[in-house]
Amino acid sequence: MAAALGLGLIIGMLLGLLGGGGSILAVPALVYGVGMPLAAAVPTSLVVVGISSATALIPRLREGQVQWRLAAVFGAAGAGAAFAGAAVNRLLEPRVVLVGFATMMVAAGVRMLREQTTVGGDCALPGGGINWRGCLPKAIGSGVVVGFLTGLFGVGGGFLIIPALVLLLGLPMTVAVGTSLVIIVINSLAGFAAHAGDAALDYRIALAFTAAAVVGSLASARVASRLPAERLRRWFAYLVFAVAAFVLVQALINPSAAG
């Protein structure tokens, strides 16, 4: 229980400081820090991701920083794909899933080091409208990819959703962050539903980890604006690389740890 509280607090602090991305460490923390089997760690991670994202969404609702219709399309496509990702997860050995997870972490870390905020795409119209003719196929395709990864690995996918919304669909960054949180909540719910019967969950540990993550995210969010965002993101990327290397080594030399 102490490990769940401590690790949940750390991940929550990362979420609060970075505005997303910290949840990618939830599965490794639950497997290697708390000692959960992978089959239980994935749905537990989705509980943490979903509740933490919903908490982070609350202040953005008051500021109108959500494109609801786009979130619904993106999320609906992802929700269906999350069940497909969960089905593939059941077919693979835990070691294979963890090797794939480590590979995805490296890709996420590289993207963090190449962080871009330039708005692109042709979906957003002046006044907040959406050009659905050009946007719908992109939103559905992006949603399917992110949802599949949510079901397969138990991640929220914020490190993929925000670039898709900004660079591919053309949303302003402030709206993209709020919209991504809605999508993460939808995908997390779908992913949890897809995995709920895979293993008996320890709800005490899940709730302790989640509560600590929420407290950490709320506390650290208060100081996030005073810290250098680019430096924080760069150091977090290095942390992601280190954890990815640890997961890869453990998956290859000690596969029973995730069984």
Identify the band that residue 256 occupies on the pLDDT scale cut at 50, 70 and 90.
low
Identify the band that residue 190 occupies on the pLDDT scale cut at 50, 70 and 90.
very high
Window from 89-98, 117-126, 161-170 with minimum mean pLDDT:
117-126
Range of the domain at 207: 2-258
**CA distance linking residue 78 with residue 101, whole number of Å:** 18
Give pTM, 2 decimals. 0.82
Measure CA of the first residue to CA of the last residue in the chain; give whole Å.
Answer: 20
**Residue 169, SS3?**
coil
Window from 119-123, 142-146, 157-161, 221-225 with minimum mean pLDDT:
119-123
Supply angle C-alpha 5, 30, 56, rounded to 5. Answer: 60
Structure tokens at 203: 């709800």
Q: How many independent structural domains does the chain possess?
A: 1
Question: Does 134 score more than 80 pLDDT?
Answer: no
Window from 23-37, 132-146, 222-236 with minimum mean pLDDT:
222-236
